[in-house]
A and B are shown apart, each in its own frame.
Chain A
Amino acid sequence: MSSRDRGRAWPRGLQAALRYVAMAVLALALFAVILLLAGKDPIQAYRDIFTSTLGSAYGLSEVFVTMTPLLLTALAVALPSRLGLINVGGEGQLYLGALFATWGALRFSALPAWLLLPLMIVLGMIGGALWALPAGYLRARGIVNETITTLLLNVVAPSIVAYFVFGFWHSPMDTNKTANFAAAARLPTLGGTRINLSLIFGVVLLALFWYVMARTRWGLEMRAIGGNPGAARRSGIPVARYLVGVMMAAGALAGLAGMAQVSGYYGVLLVNFSRGLGYMGFLVSWLAGGTPLGIVVTSFVVAVILTGGNLLQLTGDVPYAVINILLATTLFVVLARPSLPRRRKVA
């Protein structure tokens, strides 16, 4: 059946860009409809989101603050996805990383920052890696799917954190948190903003991820496993070792994100400090197709949405949680993969 394939007339890059623009417009339009139905002014709302995020230096810095943990939690999903592993456990690994790092901060608070911070970073990564280990191991042995294991452990992690905070680390005056971290235990911030050093970590690690996947033998073997585990095993690649190792690495990344949150952002370990950061990372990685550059762009866009909600709450008189609707409509639109008029879907 020869049909004129009009889609091919456009360059691929332009096609992709147009598609993203169309999806963005559709998502914004959906949210605008919702706002209208509620009697709010969508133009004003979008203007507020814009001015409070991209329209001022402070706003932009807040966007980066929100974006920072997303880079790491998304990477924690993207890395194992190259092996075909689905790591939904970023949330739990984040909490455990925060837990271990907090132990370091409280126990060694007398140390100077240049010793304490690297120690906390290492502790955070160990915590996250340990939490991901059962999932990797059970998957490698073919006993339990890592999606289920990580999901279950996600729910367990905040309870463990609460146990330590309440049992050992809180003072009578404080409620559901530890004492404030000593200055030496805080990740330094950049300029006068609240952006902390882990933003650099995130970018560097993403670049490292790209390099490892594209240019090293490990990356090659990982892609082989992801493509065809049976064939990979037969050609001598130690699949089990990769499954466990990569899961632990992913856990370490999420753990680092957790450490950065309590050390850089909060300065205290608060029970239930993460409202879905790990899951958000999963969505960012998924939206970005697991590519490093995609992760940077997607987490930036998501961060803009989340940060904009703050001002929207004040001026638009909507609860802050409503910004989740905009986030969700964006996700729905991408998930629903609407096609541009020119392109035909081939069965």
Chain B
Amino acid sequence: MTPLALLGVVSSAIFSGTSLLYATLGEIVGERSGVVNLGLEGVLLVSAAAGFAASAASGTPYLGILVAMIAGALMNLILGYLVVSRRANQLASGLALMFFGFGLSAWIGRDYVGAKITGLPRLTLPGLAGLPTLYGSLLRFDPLIYLVLPTAALVWWVLFRTRWGLSLRAVGEAPDTAFAAGRNPGRIRYRALLAGGLLAGLGAAHLSIAYAMNWTEYMTAGRGFIAIALVIFSKWHPLRAIVGALLFSGAVAFQLLLQSSGVQVSPFLLNTVPYLLTLGVLIIWGGRRRNAAPASLGRVYQGAE
């Protein structure tokens, strides 16, 4: 386990964890307003397919990123319509959205499988340019990766330091109280889902445009559910989500390193660790009020109209 190898693990973790972090941030925003999106998997798929298709068709990845973000927002708006305007069950709506995403993404992406796109440029931070090439090549990241930490900080700041964020969290805790205080819970949830969808789309764009540079059906392979677990693991807090995302993707990268070192650890058992860990921390928290989810999460807001 040379330091280079370990640095390689960190580098891989950062690479593959970025899309996960964006998706998690998006889900945090939505869940903080009280809406759980079980269809996140479908949202990510549609965004990934749309973004990849746009990149392939237009020749520029930046258009693809934009399209992916818009696609994510639109998918989330479907959920918003069902859950807010029609007051449907959140879990069922989310699952329906997931199946919708399976089908729509397959259709969008169908003609673009195996298409070649220009990925995002890979840059090293100015200060690190002088490192020996072996180390340097590990630290060449694309712009979306550099943006993810500021984005997490931005999400944190908006949620916890602005009035809009305060309203959002209030709706997530007690929509009736918020309504009595003059807020419009429905509109706030829509906006939260819109923002969340943009972030999820960003994550999906990174996956298909910058990381895998490809599109195949069911490409996200459960990342949506990983993000949902990660939201719980990070206690609905954007900054803790950074650690969680690094841990989750670091486990995968570490397992690959172990493989080649001949260490016989089953990659499947290693895969289960993040979720069992999440379950573990939930049990430890034991339903104490302080660590609970936003109180109205999952409940349909009946409104008072």
Interface size class of A (residues with CB under 8 A): 35 or more
CA distance A88 to B91 in the complex (A): 9
Contact with A along B272-300 (1 / 0, CB 8 A): 10011011001100110000000000100
- Whether A159 and B96, one on each chain, are in contact in the complex, defined by CB atoms closer than 8 angstroms, is no
Q: Mark A326-347, 1 if CB is under 8 A from B, else 0.
A: 1111011001110000000001
Is the beta-carbon distance between B272 and A325 smaller than 8 angstroms?
no
B96 to A152, Cβ gap below 8 A? no
Interface residues on B, range: 35 or more
Q: A-side binding surface: helix, strand, loop or mixed?
A: helix
Whether the Cβ atoms of A163 and B266 lie closer than 8 Å is: yes
How far apart are the CA atoms of A153 and B279 in the complex, in Å?
A: 9
The main secondary structure of chain B at its interface with chain A is: helix
A318 to B108, CA, bound (A): 11
Distance to closest chain B CB from A217 (angstroms): 30
Q: Mark A63-107, 1 if CB is under 8 A from B, else 0.
A: 000000000000000000000001010000000000000000000
Residue B103, interface by CB 8 Å:
yes
When the two chains form their complex, are residues A38 and B276 in contact, meaning their CB atoms are under 8 A apart?
no
A151 touches B92 (CB 8 A): no
Q: Find chain B residues with CB under 8 A from A324 CB.
A: 99-100, 102-103, 106
Nearest-Cβ distance from residue B43 to partner chain A, whole angstroms? 13
A-B contact count (CB 8 A): 129
Q: Is residue A1 within 8 Å, beta carbon to beta carbon, of the partner chain?
A: no
Q: Which residues of B contact A147 (CB under 8 A)?
A: 91, 298
Residue A118 at the chain B interface, CB threshold 8 Å:
no
Q: A325-B103, A336-B86 are in contact. Are A159 and B95 (CB under 8 A)?
A: no
A336 near B287 (CB under 8 angstroms)? Answer: no
Contact between chains at A331 and B92 (CB < 8 Å): yes
CB distance from B139 to the nearest CB of A (A): 31
Known: A155-B222, A321-B102. A286 touches B279 (CB 8 A): no
A254 at the interface (CB under 8 A from B): no
Chain B residue contacts of A54, Cβ below 8 A? none
Determine whether the beta carbon of A335 is less than 8 Å from that of B92.
Answer: yes
Contact of B272 among A138, A160, A282, A286 (CB under 8 A): A160
Alpha-carbon distance between A328 and B106 when the two chains are bound, in angstroms: 14
Taking A319-B106, A319-B217 as known contacts, 12 extra A-B pairs with beta carbons closer than 8 A to each other, sorted by chain A number, are A88-B38, A151-B229, A153-B275, A159-B269, A163-B266, A286-B89, A321-B106, A325-B100, A325-B107, A332-B78, A335-B93, A336-B82
